[in-house]
Chains A and B, each alone.
Chain A
Amino acid sequence: MRSMQCKHIWEQVSGYIDGTVSPELRQEIERHLAHCRYCSAVLDSTRNLLVLVGDARTFEVPVGFGERLHKRLQQSMDALEGGE
């Protein structure tokens, strides 16, 4: 069972990572992280997870996507032009 303070820290993890928490809150979080291994691990794993999520290899675009997109767009543009 974690303390209420841990729960308070978890609610701030996202803002802390983005650098959008106030300087006072940042200090409070860092004081807590200095002695709480559990919350440090939560922060590290979230941060690392976001590196993986943001990696271009995680979500790939299907082969030929661009060609199919521009082909369909061109067909639509031609149809519009023909209709005018």
Chain B
Amino acid sequence: MKMDQQSGPEAVSAAAEHSAREAAIIARILGGERELFHELIRPYERGLYLAAYGMLQQQEDAEDAVQEAVIKAFKALASFRGDSKFSTWLMSITLNEARGRLRKHAGEKLEFLSDGDEEGDYTPSVLADWRYIPSEELERQELRRQLQQAMAQIPPEHREMIILRDVRGLSTAEAAEAAGCSEALAKVRLHRARMAMQKLLAPQLAPRQTGFLGWLNRKAGGR
């Protein structure tokens, strides 16, 4: 979970410094030091894979999409003007590549929890006593599988937003820019994605209390 990023003076200055360093590397790459492109993309490759996988839900396809996107970015590097962050530019190329592949797969039957309607009624799942964070539970393959399966059931444009905001930690503005939509639409999609995930997963992620405490809580009606 990421709060929308606040940009205090220190954060702004660090970001500006980082962008300036990247701009200098890009200038050197364009000047002929091509090998530096490997170093330029290295910090972002994990995020690119997760975004592509989030969209495509298929490991080989996601890897291939990232490879293609990175090659496209290398070829188009001279067109990067620095109006946005390099990472956002790279992410938007990757998402475009992934979207293109999704369109190619459009002939295949894709079924999602909703049809991508930005409105829609929502009734969350009840989970009255989930008051702790079961992150140690992630060691369980089963839980990871449940999370991934839930992700696969929500529409791609909603999935894209939860990956950008909640997995990658981008701000709403950055996520909207990478996805090529307005901030208002990004917020709506993010809300829909989170609520759909809650509905799908909350009942499965209930704590499994055992022993006296579990018995006591069950007797007390789940509190």
Contacts and interface: CB of A to CB of B under 8 A. Distances in A.
Contact of A49 (B49, B187, B191, B201): B201
B28 to A, nearest CB: 15
B128 interface: yes
A62 B64 CA distance: 12
Contacts of B148: 58-59
Contacts of A41: 126-130
Contacts of A76: 71, 74
A73 B37 contact: yes
Given A14-B191, A69-B67, A73-B71, A61 B166 contact: no
A61 to B, nearest CB: 5
A44 B126 contact: no
A42 B124 contact: yes
A27 interface: no
A53 B38 CA distance: 28
Contacts of B63: 62, 65, 68-69
Listed residue (B38, B74, B166, B198) with the most chain A CB atoms within 10 angstroms of its CB:
B198
A38 B54 contact: no
A46 B198 contact: yes
Given A76-B71, A81-B34, A69 B194 contact: no
Interface string B92-135: 00000000000000000000000000000011111111111111
Give the bracket for the number of chain A residues in contact with chain B: 35 or more
A32 B128 CA distance: 16
Given A18-B4, A46-B195, A50-B194, A73 B67 contact: yes
B187 A47 contact: no
Given A37-B128, A41-B126, A76-B71, A57 B144 contact: yes
Given A49-B194, A62-B59, A73 B70 contact: yes
Interface in B193-208: 194-195, 197-198, 201-202, 205
Given A19-B4, A42-B126, 19 more contacts: A10-B123, A14-B194, A18-B3, A44-B130, A44-B131, A45-B125, A46-B195, A46-B198, A48-B130, A49-B202, A52-B133, A53-B147, A53-B197, A54-B169, A58-B144, A62-B49, A68-B67, A69-B66, A69-B67
Interface of A: 2, 10-11, 13-15, 17-20, 37-38, 41-42, 44-55, 57-59, 61-62, 65-66, 68-70, 72-74, 76-77, 80-81
Instruction: State the 9 A-B residue pairs at the shortest beta-carbon distance, nearest first.
Output: A50-B1, A14-B191, A45-B202, A42-B124, A57-B138, A45-B127, A76-B71, A46-B198, A72-B67
